[in-house]
Structure 1
Amino acid sequence: MSSKLSCLVYIEVKEGRAQDQIDLYNDIKPLVLAEPGCIKYELKRIKGSDTKFLLIEEWTSQEALDAHDATPHMIDADSKSPSFRVKPAEVVEVVDV
């Protein structure tokens, strides 16, 4: 049985590259929100930091999230992000209790 899940994605960018992360997010946000099963897709800057972000995603099911990861816009975004990120994003998947 599929159940709703959320992803908390910790992102750290290189000094002076925050706008690259913001621009990439703004470019793909409408595409992600239009995907079947996407409930929420929000980028937040961590208070007091110019280089740290938290991406909050909510999906109707694991299948919807898996399909999201395989979309052309996410594959393209994943190919661009190493140029401005300190390290790969850290993803924590959580479910309601």
Structure 2
Amino acid sequence: MEEVNLVVMIEVMPGKRDLQIEAYKNLKPLVLAEPGCLQYELFSDAADENKFLLIERWTSQDALNAHDQTEHMIAADTHSPTFRAKPAQVIKMTTVTA
């Protein structure tokens, strides 16, 4: 199976940065414990405190699909519009081999 890599661009409403960080801190241990999760890491934009980048790596598309159906992710998807400026932009990446 081919590994699935996601780059998720997140922008929060002004003054809501801490809510994004708190949501991530709550989700991180749950997501990392899921079968097939290889990486789940949040980065903040050094130039804009309202922008974040989330890197996700999964062993397979099936593992990612199962992740999307977990109770904690469904709850997170319901809660995130209260602090995000717009829906997250998800880019699925593939590994380039030489």
2:23 match = 24
After the TM superposition, which segments of 4 or more aligned residues of structure 1 sit over 4 Å from their partners? none
Distance in 2 separating the partners of 1:33 and 1:56: 12
Q: Point out where structure 2 has 5 or more consecutive residues left out of the alignment.
A: none
Q: CA deviation at 1:63?
A: 0.5
1:38 maps to: 37
1:77 aligns with 2:88: no
Q: Identical aligned pairs, as a percentage? A: 53
Q: Give the letter aligned to residue 9 of structure 2.
A: Y
The match for 2:91 is 92
TM superposition score normalised by structure 2: 0.96
Q: CA-to-partner distance for each residue in 1:33-65, whole Å, 9 max, x for gaps?
A: 000000000000011111000000000000000
Matched AA of 2:8: V
RMSD: 0.6
Report how many aligned residue pairs link the two structures: 96
> Unpaired segments of 5 or more residues in structure 1?
none
